[in-house]
Amino acid sequence: MYAKAREFQRKAPRQARARATVEVLLEATAQVLVERGYAGLTTTRIAERAGVSVGTLYQYFEGKAELVRTVHQRQVARAFDALAHKALSTEALAIAERIEQMLRALLEVKSARPSLSMALHATMLELDGPAYLERTISQTQSLVGSVLENHADDLRGVDLDLAAFVLTNAVDGVIEAAIATDRLADPHLIEALTRLVLGYLDGASAKLRVSGSNATSPG
């Protein structure tokens, strides 16, 4: 049904010039994909935009699917790395603060090339089917899972796996829509996302509810 995802370059570029060619091809792929969609992403066009010949393209990549998958992997890796880095650097913070910082980091990284994210999402869905989501999201999901686990004391009663799944995808859905409607820069977005996550966790844990949200402290 869907083509298998094959990995990485056909040939490891040894020389600097070759490495540069690979970069140029990947960037060209990203640009053309954003500008004309997957249907308009032809090997000729990629090569043209990259300033090399089609032959060269095939020297480094198996075809356009591999190019797209590579671009996607990089994009995903960038987002994941940013998130993971922030998760590490905020280990000492309280959960509410930590989540807000992580969401900030995520929004920032997504803001870099918003339309590329969208285009890649659609394309990967077409290339590898729903299975792609599973692969891609699961990584983030387990990162989120371990972060939650760090705060297990505050989250007693919360099904952490379920929470990781729900929150990761809920946040993703909102961000995707924000990209589509060009609201990524809306200053209220970060607040709303934070509230979404904390609200969910809050609704499941007595501890957090009392200590975590000081606004609730009664008169």
Partner DNA sequence: TATGAATGAGTTTTCATTCAT
Partner DNA sequence: TATGAATGAAAACTCATTCAT
126 binds its own copies (CB under 8 A): yes
Q: Copy the structure tokens of residue 190.
A: 């970060």
Q: CA nearest 140: which of 86, 199, 95, 218?
A: 86
51 binds its own copies (CB under 8 A): no
Contact with its own copies (CB under 8 A) among 18, 184, 190, 204: 204
82 binds, among DNA, its own copies, none (CB under 5 to 8 A by kind): none
Torsion angle of C-alpha atoms 117, 122, 128, 134, degrees rounded to 10: 60
The total of other beta-carbon atoms located within 10 Å of residue 122's CB is: 13
DSSP annotation of 198 reads H
The total of other beta-carbon atoms located within 10 Å of residue 130's CB is: 8
14 binds its own copies (CB under 8 A): no
Q: How far is the CB of 24 from DNA (least distance, A)?
A: 8
The total of other beta-carbon atoms located within 10 Å of residue 185's CB is: 10
Which residue intervals of 37-159 are DSSP H helices?
Answer: 43-50, 54-60, 64-89, 95-112, 114-128, 131-150
Q: How far is the CB of 23 from its own copies (least distance, A)?
A: 24
115 binds its own copies (CB under 8 A): yes
Contact with its own copies (CB under 8 A) among 17, 130, 187, 214: 130
The total of other beta-carbon atoms located within 10 Å of residue 11's CB is: 12
169 binds, among DNA, its own copies, none (CB under 5 to 8 A by kind): its own copies
- By CB under 7 A, name the binding residues for DNA: 11, 13-15, 17-18, 20-21, 39-44, 52-56, 58-60, 62-64
Chain residues in the site for its own copies (CB under 8 A): 1-2, 35-40, 115, 118, 121-123, 125-126, 129-131, 133-134, 137, 159, 162-163, 165-166, 168-174, 176-181, 183, 188, 192-193, 195-196, 198-204, 206, 209-210, 213, 215-219
